[in-house]
Structure formats: structure tokens, C-alpha cells
Amino acid sequence: MAFSLSQFFTKPVRSVVGIDIGSSSIKIVQLRREAGRAVLETYGAIALGPYANIEIGRATQLPADTIATALKDVLKESNTTTAESVFAIPYASSLVSVVRLPAAVQGKLDQIMPLEARKYIPVPISEVQLDWSLVSGTGSGPQDKIEVMLVAIQNSVLEKYRTVATATALHVSFFEIEVFSAVRASLDHGIAPVAVVDMGAATTKFYVVERGIIRESHIINRGSQELTLNASRALGMSVAQAEESKRKVGMVAPSQPATIPGTHATTADAAHSFELSIAPTVAELSHTISSFEQRMGEAISTLVLTGGGAGLPGLIPYLQSRLQTEVRLADPFSKTQAPAFLEGVLKEAGPEFSVAVGIALRKLQELE
């Protein structure tokens, strides 16, 4: 019979797994705290399409037990070594809003905010978990105002995630709405407004962050899978072929187009199709940015791309030409310590793992 002395002592938590369950894939990142640094121990992703008997890259709606199976698989494949975990909650299952109130009520927020929340939440308060925090404002004069960030998450979603955690034998420290995780991993502290565009399979999320505060958020009900499906229909290729073309060709039309094997379409046809498909999303982004800048009287300095769709070849120059602003990819792994030979790989994979890295970083900060 073997045993370890460690079972007689409580070991301090040093490692944590950040988990991002998206509509088309699960991303996990395991970090540990060492000498004040966040050290990358492992990371991994798994497509959810095959668990729903559909193609890789497609958005899914899976029950908790199937998600748990997929999560077990990616944890095993990634060789994670800790049960300490933190989960990101989809933005679509939550509400985040900055509420302006008279400064005189600052000491009564526990009584005021549940009542105020009814103006913003379209479901009974009993069906959500509420939280709030003061983000700006002081004073007590009749004209003074405070800003309070209101956050709500559906109880049914929390219960689903708890079921997944139990089924995978994970200990969950907390849940966090994905927008906060993405912002933490993607941005540094700055004064000028910065926009974060999270390009998922089913939706594109848009956030404006100013002085660390999320000033505006918006969901565009179009995502990267739309480019794949449109190309498949328009060019007579399979969804798998369209997905591969999206990842390899993107919107970069080659100078010498090649025929895509098994089809009559060329790589130039595919690039043109992807550009046509993404145009409505970019037009909506442009309108949202212009509206914010006109309303607030200040320009958005930078656009930071996160999410699996951010790696579309040719996307950055296309956005820069249409939006007339600096565009860059998120680089969340730059906030971790990792072997130098992985730098290129991590930089390329970074946008997809922004949420998982961001929520794991928060847990490590709490361990300091």
C-alpha cells in the first residue's frame, strides 16, 4: 500500500485551469504562480462539432453531459494536473451595464441596485444572480453622479456549468463573464478608449473599454461560421473544404489562383466569398464605432481582435482599410512565461485563448 505525506497536509493552490466553453470549441489554459509570474503549464482546445455530429467549426447547442465529455477529453489530451478551475460564462447569457445614479445613494447600493436592475433585465430578478461595483464618481451634492457596473447571470446557465464541473471532478473557484476575461488578457491599462472585437463561431462581440471600464458592449449575430457556410453554398464545396479554405486562404486572393481539389472553385473565388460574407459584420462594427465616438466625443484608438475568427488571413488589413483605425491581434500569452521556442505558436494561437488566459490570470491574482 503506497501513500504520500502530502495527504496529511493542505498544499497551497499554485496552478489553475481557465476554461472557456464556446459555441464551437472548448479552450483550456493551465497557469501556475511562480515568483510573481504567471507560468504557462499547458493549453489545449477541442472542437465541439463532432460531439454534435456536425463539422468542425460549426456552432453547437450541447447538453451539459456532452459538454462534460468534451471537457474531460481536452483536459486529458492537454495533460492538466490540477482540479482547481475557473469558468468563463458566455456574454449572451449575461448582462453588463454601467448605471448612472445620484451620488447620494452610494451608501445604499444594496437596497437600490436590485430595484434599479429591474429596468435593465428583461426577466424576473429571481431568475438571475446579481452583482455590482462602484466604478467612478464621488461627492454627495444634488448634481453629483456615480457610475455603478451592474452584472447579471442567468441561474439556469450557472447551474449548467456547475453540472459540467461536477461531472468532470473540477473544483470551481468562481464564474466570470467572458468579456472581463477577454479584456484582462488582451489589454494593458490605458486612458484612451479601446475596442475589443471577439469573433466567435456564432456571434461577434464588441466591447469598448476606457480606463479599465467596459463602457459599451454589443452583440452582432453573425460569426465566423457564416463565412464557411456561405462559401460552401456559393462555391459548391463541402463545409469541411470551405472551413479549410477559410483558415488557409482567408481573404488573401493569391496572384496565381489554384483550383480547390474536388471542386470547380479557385482560391480566388474563396477569398472573394469570404470578403463578401464578412462585409455586413464590418459595416455594423463601423456603425457601432461611429455611434460611440459621436456620442462620447472621443475616438477609439485601437481595435483588438480576439476569438477563433480573428486569425482569418487578410482580416487585419481589410479592417484597417474599412475602419480607419489601428487593428491588432490580442496576444494573451505575452502575459505569461513560456519557453521561447513556443513564442511564434503562442502568438498565432493567442486570440483564440484570450478568455481562458484572462480568467486564469484573475485566479492567480487572487492567490498572491
- pLDDT bin (cut points 50, 70, 90) of residue 253 is confident
* pLDDT of 139: 56
pLDDT at 211: 78
- Distance of alpha carbon 279 from alpha carbon 314, whole angstroms: 13
Nearest to 223 by CA among 193, 243, 252: 243
Q: Which of 127-141, 223-237, 341-355 has the lowest mean pLDDT?
A: 127-141
Cell digits of residue 240: 469541411
Q: Quick one: how far is CA 196 from the chain centroid? A: 10
Cell 456552432, located at residue: 59
User: pLDDT grade, residue 141 (50/70/90)?
Assistant: low
Dist. CA 68–CA 65, nearest whole Å: 5
Can you tell me the mean pLDDT for 246-265? Answer: 90
Give residue 104's pLDDT band: very low, low, confident or very high (50, 70, 90): confident
In single-letter form, the type of residue at position 175 comes to: F
Q: Stretch 260-276: mean pLDDT, rounded? A: 93
User: What is the structure's pLDDT at 35?
Assistant: 86
Average pLDDT over residues 46-53: 96
1 pLDDT exceeds 60? no
What's the pLDDT score for residue 10?
46
Q: So what's the pLDDT on residue 13? A: 58
Which pLDDT belongs to residue 190?
67
Average pLDDT over residues 56-80: 96
Q: Which of 59, 30, 53, 63 has its CA nearest to residue 307?
A: 59
End-to-end CA, the chain: 37
User: What is the chain's mean pLDDT, rounded?
Assistant: 90
Q: Are 307 and 287 in contact (CB under 8 A)?
A: no
248 or 143, which is more confident: 248
156-160 average pLDDT score? 95
All residues at 6 or more sequence positions from 277 whose CB lies less than 8 Å from its CB, including other chains: 226, 227, 230, 231
DSSP bridge pairs for 342: none
Cell, residue 269: 473565388
CATH number for the domain whose boundaries are 93-154: 3.30.1490.300
Q: Do the beta carbons of residue 124 and residue 73 sit within 8 Å?
A: no
Q: Which of 347, 314, 344 minimizes the C-alpha distance to 331?
A: 347
Rounded-to-integer distance, Cα 320 and Cα 327, Å: 6
| Residue 41 scores a pLDDT above 50 | yes
- Of 60-69, 242-251, 292-301, the one with minimum mean pLDDT is 292-301
CB 204 within 8 A of CB 59: no
For the cut 80, the answer to whether the pLDDT of residue 3 exceeds it is no
Domain range list for the chain: 93-154
Could you tell me where the DSSP H helices lie in the chain?
Answer: 64-77, 109-117, 155-167, 178-186, 224-235, 239-248, 267-296, 315-323, 343-349, 354-367
Tell me the backbone φ, ψ of residue 15, rounded to 5 degrees. -120, 150
Nearest-angstrom CA–CA distance, 261 and 124? 54
- The residue with greater pLDDT, 172 or 147, is 172
Q: Could you report the per-residue pLDDT of 289-344, keeping only the tens digit for each?
A: 999 999 889 899 899 999 999 999 999 999 999 998 899 999 999 999 999 999 99
Q: What is the pLDDT of residue 213?
A: 82
Q: Which helix (H) or strand (E) holds 29?
A: strand 25-34
145 close to 100: Cβ distance less than 8 angstroms = yes
Nearest by Cα to 188 from 211, 214, 216? 211
What secondary structure letter does DSSP report for 119?
A: T
Which range is least confidently modeled, 10-19, 46-55, 114-123, 358-367? Answer: 10-19
Write down the pTM of the prediction.
Answer: 0.90
For residue 217, the model assigns a pLDDT of 87
Q: pLDDT per residue over 165-217, tens digit each?
A: 999 999 999 999 999 999 999 988 667 889 999 999 999 999 998 877 888 88
Residue 34 has pLDDT above 70, yes or no: yes
Phi, psi torsion values for 2, nearest 5 degrees: -100, 150
